[in-house]
């Protein structure tokens, strides 16, 4: 019997699709390894209540995966667990050894550039309780800052500026892709380094036009081809 793992994700509303970039990273990793999984998206309030109680961890985040060894939380920790349990010589998440450099780049460079593009679309999808939590934790209650982000992504000129900011950062990824002889970070097969970046592309689809403008442009042709290669490799299609 083929094993299927349950992964808790983040939903903007009850029974909505996963929108978390970090959960998308785990989904991509599992697709690369050919592992079956079932994503159970939870809203912010449910994560803070039911999932915290279930895991016994009041600071729990998503992704959290149920494994025979217990709960594993965080996309990086899950990637290492998956590699240990399922990695093979010809199908591995870390072909160059355990290396967190792309994750660090994603968190320090890509994520800050993507948030102004991602957050307004995510906000529009959320139910009332999730919006309250989101405003408090992501904007520190600053309604004016949230309103500016929403206005920017709705105005074509401002949205173009947001996309241009993402493209500038992706120029760094473009150069990294140019160091290999294949479409992926480590050559001809996708790895966790690809997943760490692809998760943000997938979540950015909540603002589809601006996201396409950011990722699929003539400025970074390798990135555009990489997006297509990752879509084929993982078959992940966001449900929004």
Cα 32 to the center of its chain, rounded Å: 15
* Cα 103 from chain centroid (whole Å): 11
Tell me the C-alpha distance between 89 and 95, whole Å: 8
- The 10s digit of each residue's pLDDT in 102-125 is 999 999 999 999 999 999 999 999
Q: Is the pLDDT of residue 86 over 90?
A: yes
Domains of the chain: total: 2
The reply to whether 54 falls in a domain is: yes
34/192 Cα distance (integer angstroms): 13
* C-beta of residue 57 within 8 angstroms of C-beta of residue 32: no
Confidence tier at 213 by pLDDT (50, 70, 90): very high
Distance CA 54, CA 140 (A): 27
Give the burial class of 148: count Cβ atoms within 10 A of its Cβ; 0-12 exposed, 13-18 middle, 19 or more buried.
middle
pLDDT the model gives residue 239: 85
Alpha-carbon distance of 129 to 179, in angstroms, equals 46
Here the CATH number for the domain that contains residue 65 is 3.40.30.10
Using 50, 70 and 90 to split pLDDT, how confident is the model at 32? very high
Cα separations in angstroms, 53 against 46, 56, 192, 226: 10, 5, 30, 40
| pLDDT recorded at residue 226 | 98
Percent of the chain with pLDDT over 90: 97
Q: What is the mean pLDDT of residues 16-45?
A: 97
What pLDDT sits at residue 2?
67
Closest CA to 151 of 142, 140, 162, 138: 162
Within this chain, do residues 149 and 228 fall inside the same structural domain, yes or no? Answer: yes
Give tens-digit pLDDT for 145-200. 999 999 999 999 999 999 999 999 999 999 999 999 999 999 999 999 999 999 99
Mean pLDDT of all residues in the chain?
Answer: 96
* Structural domain boundaries enclosing 127: 101-234
Contacts of 146 (CB under 8 A, 6+ apart): 119, 123, 135, 139
What string of H, E and C letters represents the secondary structure of 6-29?
EEEEEECCCCCCECCHHHHHHHHH
Judgement on whether residues 73 and 9 belong to the same structural domain of the protein: yes
| CATH (domain of 164) | 1.20.1050.10
| 73 and 140 share one domain | no
pLDDT at 211: 97
Whether the predicted pLDDT of 142 surpasses 90 = yes
pLDDT of residue 184: 98
């Amino acid at each position: 019997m083929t094993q299927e793992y349950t992964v808790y994700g983040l939903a903007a509303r009850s029974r909505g699709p996963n929108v978390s970039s970090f959960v998308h990273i785990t989904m991509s990793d599992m697709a690369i390894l050919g592992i079956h999984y079932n994503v159970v998206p939870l809203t912010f309030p449910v994560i803070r209540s039911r999932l915290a109680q279930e895991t016994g961890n009041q600071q729990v985040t998503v992704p959290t995966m149920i494994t025979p060894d217990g709960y594993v939380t965080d996309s990086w920790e899950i990637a290492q667990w998956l590699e240990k349990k399922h990695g093979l010589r010809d199908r591995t998440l870390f072909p160059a050894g355990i290396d967190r450099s792309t994750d660090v780049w994603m968190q320090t460079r890509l994520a800050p550039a993507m948030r102004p593009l991602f957050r307004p679309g995510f906000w529009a999808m959320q139910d009332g309780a999730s919006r309250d939590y989101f405003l408090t934790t992501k904007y520190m209650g600053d309604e004016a800052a949230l309103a500016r982000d929403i206005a920017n992504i709705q105005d074509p000129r401002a949205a173009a500026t947001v996309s241009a900011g993402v493209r500038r950062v992706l120029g760094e990824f473009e150069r990294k892709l140019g160091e290999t002889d294949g479409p992926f970070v480590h050559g001809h097969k996708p790895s966790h380094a690809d997943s760490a970046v692809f998760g943000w592309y997938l979540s950015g689809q909540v603002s589809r036009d601006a996201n396409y403008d950011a990722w699929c442009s003539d400025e970074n042709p390798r990135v555009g081809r990489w997006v297509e290669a990752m879509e084929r490799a993982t078959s992940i299609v966001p449900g929004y």
